[in-house]
Chains A and B, each alone.
Chain A
Amino acid sequence: AQTVTQSQPEMSVQEAETVTLSCTYDTSESDYYLFWYKQPPSRQMILVIRQEAYKQQNATENRFSVNFQKAAKSFSLKISDSQLGDAAMYFCAYSLNYGGSQGNLIFGKGTKLSVKP
């Protein structure tokens, strides 16, 4: 069975600084997706960034980037120039890549990120 582990229950960063959130996963599959979701106090789940396992290049979305290490099954999220609005719970998630399964997500337990002004 696939599992996703986030070892940092809470993290804190100073505004404008950089922070890295860790995620490891376990799977025997070779074709899958990895995601980082943000959940602010409003409870809305917002997709931050995704990575296709077959792509070697790390995904980047503005201030958000990932370090995808497929052999190590590691998928960390780097937030650069942190802003107060980045404060939220961040969830790492995994899904297989075959028909009808891409929304069938397996989530880690989350990391609560605080941003200090």
Chain B
Amino acid sequence: NAGVTQTPKFQVLKTGQSMTLQCAQDMNHNSMYWYRQDPGMGLRLIYYSASEGTTDKGEVPNGYNVSRLNKREFSLRLESAAPSQTSVYFCASSEEILLFSEAFFGQGTRLTVV
């Protein structure tokens, strides 16, 4: 099982450029999440999708948009990248129907905006 797969693993953007981070999970999970991790900080939630067809803002949504394309895929888009968006981005997924379900994380995308 691949688990949660993120692409790309590394990316350098110029200020003002746009890009989409891709995330796919093969565990048939209902819920998916995007986090960012900055130096000296824990992960902070950007957006999440509790189930297919729904998305909600997390703690730091400004400058981002998301799309839950289907049950497997959840993408994060930066429309006009800014240096403040330089970070490591993590996608995660979990089951969350009734009982507790562990959140599984991808390996992260290191994004640098110059």
Residues of A within 8 A of B (CB): 4, 33, 42-45, 47, 50, 52, 91, 93, 97, 99-110
Residues of B within 8 A of A (CB): 31-33, 35, 40-45, 48, 50-51, 58, 88, 90, 92-94, 96, 100-103, 105, 107-108
Report which residue of B32, B42, B102 has the largest number of chain A beta carbons within 10 angstroms of its beta carbon.
B42
Shortest distance in angstroms between A89's beta carbon and chain B's nearest beta carbon? 9
Specify which chain B residues have a CB less than 8 angstroms from the CB of A52 in the assembled complex: 100
Q: Told that A50-B102, A104-B33, A108-B42 touch, could you supply 9 new A-B pairs with CB distance under 8 A?
A: A45-B43, A45-B90, A91-B42, A100-B50, A102-B100, A102-B101, A103-B48, A104-B45, A105-B35
Interface of A is mostly: loop
How many inter-chain contacts with C-beta < 8 Å in the A-B complex? 65
> What's the Cα separation between A103 and B30 when bound, in Å?
11
Report which residue of A42, A50, A99, A102 has the largest number of chain B beta carbons within 10 angstroms of its beta carbon.
A102
> What's the Cα separation between A17 and B30 when bound, in Å?
41
Contact of A103 with B42 at beta-carbon distance under 8 Å, contacts A43-B88, A43-B108 already known:
no
Specify which chain B residues have a CB less than 8 angstroms from the CB of A104 in the assembled complex: 33, 45, 48, 58
Specify which chain A residues have a CB less than 8 angstroms from the CB of B108 in the assembled complex: 43-44
> What's the Cα separation between A109 and B40 when bound, in Å?
6
7 contacting pairs across A/B (C-beta < 8 A): A99-B50, A102-B100, A103-B94, A103-B103, A104-B45, A108-B42, A109-B41
